[in-house]
Amino acid sequence: MNVRRSANGRPLRIAVVGDTLLDRDLEGEVRRLAPDAPVPIVDHDHTTVRPGGAGLAAALAAGDGAEVRLVTALADDDAGRELADTLAERRVAVTDVGLAGETPEKIRVRVQGRALLRVDRGCEPGRVGAGTAEARAAIGWADAVLVADYGRGVAAEEALRSAIGGAIAAGVPVVWDPHPRGARPVPGALLVTPNDREARGFAAEVDGDGPSGVIARGEALRERWEATWVCVTRGRHGAIAVGATGPPLVVPVDPVQVGDPCGAGDRFASRAAEVLAAGGDVPGALRSAAASASAFVAAGGAGGADGDAGLPRPLRCTTGAAQDVVARVRARGGTVVATGGCFDLLHAGHVGTLQAARALGDCLVVCLNSDASVHRLKGPRRPLVGERDRAAVLSALGCVDAVEIFEEDTPAEVLRRLRPDLWVKGGDYSACELPEAGVLAGWGGRAIVLPFLDGRSTTRLIQEAALHAV
């Protein structure tokens, strides 16, 4: 768990205000179609229950090590009590203002980590109770306030809105993730984060597509909502933010080959709130939020989160994401290829080997030595390029389907988890000399050697650079 702390060393205090839902994932496998209709039959394996909506945003911040108080409305029913229990398991302190009605549920049927069907229950919003003194105190206690509005009434409650306004007046950063059916953001919010579809609805009078249209809508909404910043998130296209002064800010995202986008907006907003709570500025918060949201999607989104909200490090493609690639290829009878190395100063020899390796099968997973691993293997002055940037460069290559960073000196443990059909290495080896060959033999995999292009090596590049620097 990456513990987030304030300037004085204590854990960050995050107040999350908004509507909480219960997400229930029914996981299974499909092996046949129904005899009475051309629909898949899901053989149920297990069910996972987790908080959704503002509850997910709170769980994500708590998973980062922040101290979190969630101001929300829970119904007095079985689903509401189950939701309260799962929030407590994730170290989220709940301040409940009460909900007259049903606890809303989103039920997803998932196969191999991907959603097949979703059923919503309790769709009609209930009546939210009045903001209590305890709820108002939770907002005043925080280093930052995140409003995760899901349009069910919590963010519209007048006493809570007044408390949020008081926090703004006191200089507390407020991040507002709006909803089309939700309340207008309280004036003075530091950052409002609609997605592109929402921004089009909020500013329907503004025409235009592409970045220019996004900027125009962002400017209109910033003025309408009296916000300091409006950041429009655009999925794989990144985000564009407009502030009170200066030019618009474009925030790129890390490329994600596969992944479930469920919960990405909550991950984006919660990470931005954490950075702002720690004293960071908005541009820095947006860059961190974009990297975290991308990594979150690569790890399987909300459905891939574990009990601590499963937060992968930015630009580190987790085994879960790599295994998703492997599972999809195997499901259609394809060949899984893996390769590995430090890839410090990527050069033509590396690219040629990676392209040749990808041509041997239907996907290529690169097992990348971490910075600590390279340091032990190559010496105190290596790597020259950090693991984050090395992973980014590799991920940008069209021949690479997933990147897996490992901490050990060899990729043996990663290989045992992924079980590739082929392990490809470039260099002056014979297959029998590769230490990984014995590991591959455990499941019938094979080790293959591809030669580097003559004269291409990281060591030689470093030597030549040093020579020219003299």
pLDDT (0 to 100) of residue 296:
82
| Helices 78-89 and 54-63, packing angle to 10 deg | 20
Q: Which of 4-8, 139-143, 410-414, 423-427 has the lowest mean pLDDT?
A: 4-8
Q: Enter the tokens of residue 288.
A: 């961190």
> Residue 465: which pLDDT band, with cuts at 50, 70 and 90?
very low
Higher model confidence: residue 430 or residue 196? 196
Choice between 417 and 221, residue whose per-residue pLDDT is larger: 221
Cα 409 from Cα 349, distance rounded (Å): 22
Q: In whole angstroms, how far apart are CA 201 and each of 20, 183, 288?
A: 23, 14, 27
CATH superfamily of 13-304: Ribokinase (3.40.1190.20)
Pick 363 or 10 by higher pLDDT. 363
| Catalytic site includes residue 149 | no
> What topology is assigned to 319-469 in CATH?
Rossmann fold (3.40.50)
Position 251 confidence tier, pLDDT thresholds 50, 70, 90: confident
- Domain extents for the chain? 13-304, 319-469
| Backbone torsions φ then ψ of 77, nearest 5 degrees | -145, 175
Q: Whole-model pTM?
A: 0.66
Assign 451 a pLDDT band (cuts: 50, 70, 90): low
- Residues 176, 167: Cα–Cα separation, whole Å: 13
User: Of the residues 25, 96, 254, 266, which is catalytic?
Assistant: 266
Q: What is the pLDDT of residue 442?
A: 92
pLDDT interval class at 294 (50, 70, 90): confident
DSSP category for residue 346: -
